[in-house]
Structure formats: structure tokens, C-alpha cells
Structure 1
Amino acid sequence: MAHATEKYFNDVVASIVDVVKFDTSLKPAEGDCPFGKETADCLHYFLDLASKMGFETHNYDNYVGEVIFGEGKPLAILAHLDVVPAGDGWSHPPFGGEIDDEVSDGGIGGMKIWGRGTMDDKGPAIATLYAMKALKDEGFIPKRQIKFIVGCNEETGWACLKHYEKVAEMPEEGFSPDASFPAIYAEKGIIHCNAYFPVSPDSFVSLSAGEAANMVCAKASAVLTEKSAKYIADYEKNAEKQVSSDTTTDGKAEGKRAAHIAKNGAKWEYDPATRTITFTGKSAHGSTPEKGVNALEALLDFASAFDAGCKKAYDLLCADEYRLREMRDETGLLTMSPDVAKIEDGALVVTTDIRFPATHKAEEVREAFEKSGVKFEFTHYQQPLYNDPNGSLISTLMKVYNAHTGKNEKAIAIGGGTYARALKCGCGFGPEMEDEESTIHQANEYVTFDRIRMMCEVYYDCIKELTK
């Protein structure tokens, strides 16, 4: 027998396509639109859709929206409509919402919607809304008040939830469909750190790298001076030596590795006419830098040959001079991803995304940076999340998840950060699966039709179980 949400499937798909078409990456404030007009328009679309479904809605000054269902002790569901910048390398328009059955790089076929936000987090937000509609339409009366809170600044500072807490009351318990399945009981702490490294005026005319603090840098470029451009020949020679060592026993080259590959796998090219060197890597979520190829790391490695500031940056942030990446607990190892860089007032300013294990302290990271002697500041901080994996919230979510999948899994810990940490008792729950290709914060983000179905069904069942 078809699930109660199946009859809404075509509408879910159409609504995801609609919201993906809004470019909700952070823009300058415009009138009463704190994150840009297009983000406000997307929030209006979402709340209008919910209102047409018969739900009570609130728009709190275009910072954050709210959809209300039922009465009683509140249960929060927290999602967001903003996205990280699209970046380069897309084979589908990032804000086109195109549908096709193209096989992805990970070998995954079947019908998909392509676009920024399909998985993070517009797709899950729409799936959750239709799960609520299915419950409402069948006459379900929740014994708790469901407060579906939809933010517009999750990716770049959480100003949306800070505003919500000023104008409304945040529930104590709930979940966020903005992470991975199964339920997440712990999240690492998050630090965004700006570090300042004095660079020589003889090194660069200009330098630019990265798009967002929580995206692995996919492109980094620098215009070199005549003096520093002389190091290109040596760098190219070293790359050729590296390639010559990648041979089979019979002396033939193995694979198609070209000379212009940095040691971390980033591709690079040099334009002698403009003295511009450009490194191209692969973006990934800042919490999982191992899934990407960091172009800024490659640029810092190259520039270490002629600039002391760049060498200091590489040693501290990439080579892990103070062994921060050895910090670990059940949530995993500390990760450190230098994702954005620019030159400002004679210094290389590098913004690094640091995720530290949940049972450790931000002070341990601060102490390492202080030892380095560099000027630095923590521009963004979120404390770790830790909940009882056997508590009632997580136990209920796991019961539904395991019943749906036929598995017997346990709750997990992650390096990512979700709205769940805004709650006294909260957890991330879907939509990704731990063992599958991730396209979140990467080019060619997509959601499969199968995953859309799963989200609708699982969120419907979870909401029902938590509020019956």
C-alpha cells in the first residue's frame, strides 16, 4: 500500500524546483531584506505555500519564517532556505532546478533534481512541509505544537535564529532535517578563524581564493610579481619529477597525470602574459575537507618557496605544525580547512574552518594559535552539541528510521553543524546517507527522486510519532 505522502509526490518535486530557482546565497541587505531580496522572496514563496495548505505562518522581518501546526508543548523542526555560493564547475544551471536521469560522478543514476540547495536544505524543507500537509489532510491532530522554523542565514552566521530568539520563543526539543541519516546525537564545535600573515610586497600583485568559510576552496589564483614569477620554472620542474616517479615497473607512465598537478591533487596553470597562476581543486563541505581538493592549500605550498608569510600559513594551517589534527574523541578528529584568502594591508588574511571534537574546548585551539605567534581572531563560534543517544527524542527517530530502512543502526556523531544545537535537546536527522556520494557544497548538487520519497515518508512518520 502506498504511503500517505505518495499522492503529494509530484507537488513536492514541483515545489523543490521552484525554491531552487531562487539564488539565496548571501547578498547585501536591501531595504527590509536583511540577506538580499531574492532570499526574502524565497521565504515569502515558502510561507505562502504553507498558508495555502491551511497552516498558520509568521514572517519575522524576512530573517526567519515559522509554520505552526497544532497546540501544546512545542516541538521544533529547523530547516533553512539560504545556500552557499554556487561556485564553478556545474554541468547544470545551479539555480535552474533541472530534472533528468543523468548518471552522477558517483555512478548514481535515476531521476534527479539538480541545483544548489536541493539537498542543503531546500529539498528537505519542502519534503517536511508536505509531510505536515499529509498529516493535516488526513485529520491528524498533534498533541504537541509543531513549530517549523525556516531560517535564511544558516550558512553564514545564524543571524536568522538570533533574531527569532528575540521575537519568539525557541522550543527546547526538536530535530533539523539538515544533516545525515540516521539521527545525530553529537556535533563537533565550529570555529571560523581569520589569521594574518605579513607577506612581502615583492611576492604578489594580487591574490584571491575561495568563496565561503565553510566550503573547501575550489579555486585560488595569484598575480605574481616579476621576482616571484621566476619560481614557476622550479615549481614546474618539481611537478615533472613527481610525475616521472609515478611509473609502472616497465617505466611507462601510469594513468594520465599531467605535469600541472600540485602535490595535493589540485590542477594548476600559469599564464605568463599576465603572470597569473591559478589552482583548481574540488569543493566540499568545510566539515569534510577530505572529500575535496583544497586549491588554497596548493597555492600556499607553491608560494612557500619565496614568501615567509605563506610558508608560515602553510605550516600552521596545512602541515599542522601544532598537531591540532590529532585531537579526537567519539565525534572524530579535529579538521582544519583554510578556505578563503585575500591580501589586505600587507598581510595574507586566511579564513579557516575548524571543527573540533565535541568533548574538547575551543580554548585548546586558541592556545595553539597563540603559540604560533600569528595575529588571529575567531570570527564565528558554535559550541559542540551532545545529547543522550538513548534519550526519548533520538530513540524515537531511530525507531522510525530503522523500521523504514529495515536496518538496526544506532545514532551517529558528525563534524557538521546544524540548527539542532540551538535547542536544549536537538539533533540533526537526514537527508544524506553516510555511505553515499555527497554533493552538498559542491558543484552539481542534486537530490534523487528516491531520496525525496524517503524524506517525505520518514519525516511524516517521525512527526506523527513525536506528537501523537
Structure 2
Amino acid sequence: MLQWSGIAKNAALAAITECIIMERYQEEAVRAISDLVKTNSALAKGTPRTPFGEGAAKCLADFLALAAGMGFETHNYDNYVGEVIFGEGEEFAILCHLDVVPAGEGWTHDPFGGEISDGKIWGRGTTDDKGPAVCALYALKALKDEGFVPGKKIKLIVGCNEECGWRCIEHYNEVAHMPETGFSPDADFPVIYAEKGILQLRFHFVFDRAPFLYMQGGSAPNMVCSYCEVLPRSIQIPKAESFGLKIKGKKLICIGKSAHGSTPELGENAMLPLLKYFEHIPEIKNVIDCLFRDKYGLTKFEDETGRLTMSPNVVKFRKGQLQIVVDIRYPASIPYEEIIAAVNKMGLLYETINFQPPLYHAKDSALVKTLAEVYEECTGQKAEPVAIGGGTYARALKNGVGFGPEFPGDPALAHQPDEYISVERVGLLIDIYKKAVERLTK
């Protein structure tokens, strides 16, 4: 019969107890994510009290109430942004966001139902970024319950305007103090050492007599256009059908597939087939050549962080003017001035609606190396730092990086229909973020 020493028995019991406790955190976190997803926190009409709409304000209040119930100090800064405080000393940030992009088309699950089925939580924000925010919170709770005393003041900062302008971070910098170092669980694993620059431009095309009276499509500047409709002066049914367009009354409609604006190749832009329907018009052909076929070679810019991508995501036609918002993600080492010079060669009228400079850290920097080590310990997989085209709150820090929640080989879920996070993944994220915070703040 196998005999256990007292030390071995105690170690085994401790391991079993920890496993049971972590399972409880996982269960609680799953319910919390489901509850938060039920609130549509996409940007809506604001008021002085709710700058980004009622949904974002409610989501923030609910998240902070959850944290306060765990015994953490919390602050709500005018419904722009909130924070959860743990510890004292030099500040360390975990930056998440509670706002989401619009649901868009193509869902087979209610985007705001918080459904839990097939081992997954379904809904907008489960992966980007309500799910990871909740996992980070439960990582702090796990540490707190263990009696861990951080050597730093941990600030879990949750914004409400990450997807559409970062006014939440601007407000935070006005009313609070932003730490210099930290990570954002709003990207990919193993760890993000670089993020491309972001340049969102609104192009204006003026027509003396456009071939349509109305055109509109797209939900957000950073989301591939999944629905577009146009009111043409006349409809040629065989031609419309050849482009896969639907006819509804006097309108032509195209349904595409959404994707993150930094990875347009993963989506199907609903704008393009409608524009091709009118390509016999020289002005429309110029729009397609410049913005879709890259006539001027912007996508030739490339470095170790990848090629430049450009994604025309929002279109509106009113009073003789076609406006198209294009989301450009440019390589981290290419100067902004060089990108703008290339844009200017198109000779088009445009305005800048959003600009974020790239982020870059050496792969052997202390923060990147530590997070890579944590990833390897928790997963058993080799951690090679990667670059992305997406933009995270890590840019708000002098020394910040993206760290999860998506793993190598995961399907692209952010900004797409039927977004989900698996129940198993929730438990793994809590464990990874717990170990990362402990290692970086002890």
C-alpha cells in the first residue's frame, strides 16, 4: 500500500484545495462575463452623465460593483473610465475595456444574450474585451484571497471608449495618474512586442451627378463593412444578380462578413460589390482603384511587424458627396510622414479622424521576457513574441505590451459574428494573469 509522508500529504491536499478554489473562480467569472455581455456597451448617444451612452455606463457600474463586492477599492471617473486598486507602492497597470463594437450581421447566437452553451459563452465582448477584463479581476481576487501582498499598487483600469477614440484614456490622464508599466489583455499570446501604427482617414469624393441617390454601410471605422445598401437611379436586375446583390424595393443590398479592421483579409467587404456595380462610372472606378485595388502601392510598405493594410470600412453618400472611412495599419518602423506622403500621392481630399503611433519594445526587454516566461510555464509552449496590426491600451503606457487573450491558432473572433470565449479558456486566463501579476508586482 502506498504510504504518504506528512509533507507529501499536505502538499497534495494544498494542490487539490487550490484546484477547487480556482474552479470556483472560473465558475463565478463565467457568470460575470455572461452578465456583462447582456449589456450592449457599443458607443451610443451620450449625455454629460453618460458620455458614451447608457450601456457603457451600466457596464462600468456593474464591473466596479463586482470588484467592490470582492473588497477592492474602486473609482468611477465620470463614466468615462474606472479602476480597481490592489496594493500600495509603485504603480502597475492592467488596462482593459468594457465597450464593444456594434454587433453587425451574421450572428447565429444573440450577440447580447450572454448565452452559455457547448462549453462557450457567446456574445459581443466575450473575447474583446469584457471576458479578459473579468479574468484579470478574478486573478486579483485569487491573489488577494491567498493573502498575497503586492509590492506595487496595481491598477486594473477599465475604459469605455477604446473602440472609438480613446476619450476614456484622455479623461483618465486628466483626473488620475497613469502608471508607466503594465499590460493589456486585449491582444494575443504569447506576448506582443510591437503594434502597427493606426491611421483612420475619411476620404471625400464629390459627384456632379452620382449614379445613386443614397448609399450607406459599415458599423465602425475599425470593423470590416458587413452590410451596405444603395438607392440607385435605376436597377439592372441581371447585373445586380451577377454581383450577388439583393434587391429590396428600390434598393440594392450587399451582405458581407465582418472582421477586425486590422485583418481585412479575414472579412468580406460589403461595400465593394456595390461599388463594382457602378464601376462603369469613371469616378467610381477611381474610388475602387485607390481604396480597394491600391493603385498607389501603399500596401507595399513592410517590415518585421508586417505589411501595411488598408480597409475601407464605413461609407455614406449624402448631397452629392461620397464619404469613405479607411482604416490603415502601417508597419511600426515606417515613419508617419512617409505614410502620409504616399497617401497624398493619390490626390484625394481627406481628413484624419484617428491617429495612434506604433508601439515597439525589444523582444529581450524585461517586461516582454517575464510575460513570455509566464506563458511558457502555464502552457508548456515556446513563447516567441509577436507583432500585431491591432491597437491596444498598451500604447497608453510608457512601458506596456499586449498579453492575450487569444492563443496561436485560435480562430479570429474579435469584431466578428458569433464571438465567444470558452469556459475552459476563462480558467486558463485567470491562472495566467494571476501568475503574471504576482511575478511583476511581488
Please classify the TM superposition score into its range, dividing by the shorter chain length: over 0.9
**2:104 counterpart of 1:90:** no
> Percent same amino acid among aligned pairs?
50
Aligned counterpart for 1:151 among listed residues 159, 165, 171: 159
Aligned counterpart for 1:465 among listed residues 436, 439, 442: 439
Tell me which residue corresponds to 2:177: 169
Aligned counterpart for 1:40 among listed residues 41, 53, 57: 57
Tell me which residue corresponds to 2:150: 142
Q: Any gaps of 5 or more consecutive residues in structure 1?
A: 102-110, 240-261
CA–CA distance in 2 between the matches of 1:363 and 1:377? 15
Q: TM-score scaled to structure 2, two decimals?
A: 0.94
Tell me which residue corresponds to 1:269: 246
* Structure 1 residue 5, shift from structure 2 partner: 2.8
CA–CA distance in 2 between the matches of 1:406 and 1:89? 36
Aligned counterpart for 1:304 among listed residues 279, 292, 296: 279
**2:405 counterpart of 1:431:** yes
Report the residue type matching 2:245 in the other structure. Answer: W
* Structure 1 residue 370, shift from structure 2 partner: 1.7
Aligned counterpart for 1:73 among listed residues 83, 87, 90: 90
CA–CA distance in 2 between the matches of 1:197 and 1:75? 46
Q: TM-score scaled to structure 1, two decimals?
A: 0.88
Aligned counterpart for 1:30 among listed residues 26, 35, 47: 47
* Structure 1 residue 200, shift from structure 2 partner: 4.4
The secondary structure found in structure 2 opposite 1:5 is: helix
CA–CA distance in 2 between the matches of 1:393 and 1:361? 25
Contact 2:52/2:160 (8 A) holds in 1: yes
CA–CA distance in 1 between the matches of 2:395 and 2:313? 23
The secondary structure found in structure 1 opposite 2:100 is: coil
Aligned counterpart for 1:403 among listed residues 356, 377, 384: 377
Tell me which residue corresponds to 1:180: 188
Contact 2:214/2:318 (8 A) holds in 1: no
Tell me which residue corresponds to 2:5: none
* Structure 1 residue 282, shift from structure 2 partner: 0.5
Contact 2:96/2:158 (8 A) holds in 1: yes
Tell me which residue corresponds to 1:383: 357
**2:276 counterpart of 1:317:** no
* Structure 1 residue 301, shift from structure 2 partner: 2.2
Report the residue type matching 1:280 in the other structure. Answer: I
Cα pair distance change 1:375/1:281, threshold 3 Å: same
Tell me which residue corresponds to 2:394: 420
* Structure 1 residue 365, shift from structure 2 partner: 2.6
CA–CA distance in 2 between the matches of 1:90 and 1:81? 21
Tell me which residue corresponds to 2:9: none
Map Cα deviations across residues 261-318 of structure 1 (whole Å, 9 max, x no partner). Answer: x4xxxx42234x41x2111110000011111111112222222223x33211111110
* Structure 1 residue 434, shift from structure 2 partner: 2.9
Contact 2:263/2:389 (8 A) holds in 1: yes
Report the residue type matching 2:83 in the other structure. Answer: E
CA–CA distance in 2 between the matches of 1:20 and 1:447? 11
Tell me which residue corresponds to 1:254: none
* Structure 1 residue 235, shift from structure 2 partner: 5.7
CA–CA distance in 2 between the matches of 1:151 and 1:400? 26
Contact 1:191/1:381 (8 A) holds in 2: yes
Report the residue type matching 1:289 in the other structure. Answer: P
* Structure 1 residue 22, shift from structure 2 partner: 0.8
Contact 1:309/1:348 (8 A) holds in 2: no
Tell me which residue corresponds to 1:255: none
Greater than 3 Å deviation, 4+ residue runs: 1-4, 232-236
Alpha-carbon RMSD across the aligned residues, in angstroms, is 1.3
